[in-house]
Amino acid sequence: MTRSGLRGVSRRRLLGWTGAGAALAGAGAVAGFAAGESASDAPPDPSGGVVPFRGPYQAGIVTPAQDRLHFVALDLTTTDRRAVISLLQRWTTAAERMTAGAEAAPGGAVNRNPEAPPSDTGEALGLPAAALTITFGIGGSLLDKLGIPRPPELADLPPFQQDQLDPALSGGDLCLQACANDPQVAVHAVRNLVRTGFGTTSVRWSQLGFGRTSSTSTAQQTHRNLFGFKDGTNNLKAEEGALLDEHVWVPPPQGPSWMVGGTYLVARRIRMHVETWDRTSLAEQESLTGRTKGEGAPIGQAQEFDLPNLAPDSPIGPDAHIRLASAQNNGGAKILRRGYNFVDGSDGLGHLNAGLFFVAFMRDPHRQFVPMQSQLARFDKMMEYIDHTGSAVFAVPPGLGDGAYWGRTVLEG
Ligand code: HEM
């Protein structure tokens, strides 16, 4: 199955299948594929292929971090629970189709009634699935609006020293995190889901990201953030099952039952004053971070994955970022970071509006993110170069079994 030199499942090919009225969603098959064919039959796709949509955990958490992000937070424009359920059902169907490389809905961009708006916006026609994942999250404000008790883990984050939060870049009743190896595929996914939500949700804020700043698998090389440092070296990795159970996935006794196997997502939009950073000496940059810039080794060590020496008399200073954020300094707490770089144009004052869109997954933001960020906000000298301008927390329920839709266990009990 080859299209435009790309091997893999292309949206155009799927358009043909669905346009021909092919049977959809058979046992084990993915909606949008013809009977007897599935994403796994496709030869490898250089852009990453198809990531399974259903499974015990939602995709886009321990999935090896893709190169691009489009994240959107939405607010409900209704409190009618049936309307919300209907939307989540339609979202799930569309998301499953798009992650398989299909168009958002049957008929698609060009094969329907020419008198009606197309059921897909069209900009991903001919593109492969590109490892698209769409991760769904629920904000505490949605539960408040629908009269559902908030898990304590979903309580609002406390204010931190030096926060510069813009309400227009914070919060949200729902979130969708689309990650893919092609930015157009990620944007197409969010755009079509936003479109499907018209009348039930409206966009509150949205963020594009590139150049993943975290590796989430030992198979991935560590990329660099916009300060030029490797980011994600000492991150939790997909292969570390016991650590993920301990720090990321909600275990049965924690509850509520609809969150068991789920996790919590903390998003922080962090503006980085790259111009000031670029006028800082290399020695100072390394000392602030606690790692060397080239290799990414902890100061005093030689290799990237050498263990940092955090003894009080070690060359890693008391206010180095990696010391303050370390598990040793935070009661053993670890988080799974999955952030992206961003450049949102310029600020009108001669500076790039650049930074890190920090995304992290954890069992309990209040026991993991909050102590870490409290330490960083008070003592991290890197704070002189950054501003936290947006903040949000979402409950990310577990993955979906066959036939289930996003949020069913939350809304239907
Ligand atoms: C623009 C802001 C930030 C920058 C530029 C940044 C950069 C870095 C870099 C270069 C490392 C070392 C490589 C690594 O192990 O990943 C690191 C480590 C880390 N960062 Fe950040 N970071 C930022 C914000 C944050 C925030 C907000 C948190 C959490 C509240 C955080 C938590 C961590 C943790 C847990 C580590 C690993 C520490 C360890 O070695 O145990 N970072 N960060």
| Ligand 1 binding pocket includes 370 (Cβ within 6 Å) | no
Eight-state DSSP code of residue 197: T
pLDDT for 212 equals 80
Q: What are the tens digits of pLDDT across the range 121-155?
A: 999 999 999 999 999 999 999 999 999 999 999 99
Contacts of 294 (CB under 8 A, 6+ apart): none
Residue range 188-206, pLDDT digits in tens? 999 999 999 999 999 999 9
- Kindly give the distance from the C-alpha atom of residue 230 to the centroid of ligand 1, in angstroms, as a whole number: 10
Mean pLDDT of 158-164: 97
What tokens appear for 163 in the block? 């926060």
| Main-chain phi, psi angles of 166, to 5 degrees | -100, 120
Percentage of the chain modeled with pLDDT above 70: 89
Does 7 score more than 60 pLDDT? no
Report the b/e string of 66-99 with b at 16+ CB within 10 A: bbbbbbbbbbbeeeeeeebbebbebbbbbbbbbb
Element (H, E) at 88: helix 81-99
| Predicted TM-score of the model (pTM) | 0.91
Task: List, in sequence order, every residue forming a beta bridge with 205; answer none if it has no partner.
Answer: 73
User: Tokens 């490797």 belong to which residue?
Assistant: 230
Residue 356 CB less than 6 A away from ligand 1: yes
Q: Ligand 1 mean position to 305 CA, how many Å?
A: 15
- Residue 26 reports pLDDT greater than 70: no
Question: Within 13 A of 268's CA, how many CA atoms are on the CB side?
Answer: 22
Ligand 1 centre to CA of 278 (Å) is 19
The domain limits of the chain are 1-413
pLDDT digits (tens, 9 = 90+) for 236-292: 988 999 999 999 999 998 989 999 999 999 999 999 999 999 999 999 999 999 999
Nearest CA to ligand 1 atom 41: 326
Q: Is 193 in the pocket of ligand 1 (CB under 6 A)?
A: no
CA of 237 to the centre of ligand 1 (A): 15
Instruction: Read off the pLDDT band of 47 (50, 70, 90).
Output: confident
Cβ–ligand 1 distance for 240 under 6 Å, the answer no
Q: Which pLDDT score, from 0 to 100, does residue 33 have?
A: 38
- Examine the pLDDT at 413 and tell me if it is beyond 80: no
Which CA distances in Å does 52 have to 43, 58, 127, 131, 187? Answer: 15, 9, 18, 9, 19
pLDDT tens column, 289-315: 999 999 999 999 999 999 999 999 999
Q: How far, in Å, from the CA of 214 to the mean position of ligand 1?
A: 9
Q: Is 369 in the pocket of ligand 1 (CB under 6 A)?
A: yes
Contacts of 307 (CB under 8 A, 6+ apart): 298, 301
Higher-scoring residue by pLDDT: 413, 168: 168
Question: Which pLDDT value is given to residue 219?
Answer: 85
- Cβ(368) to ligand 1 under 6 A? no
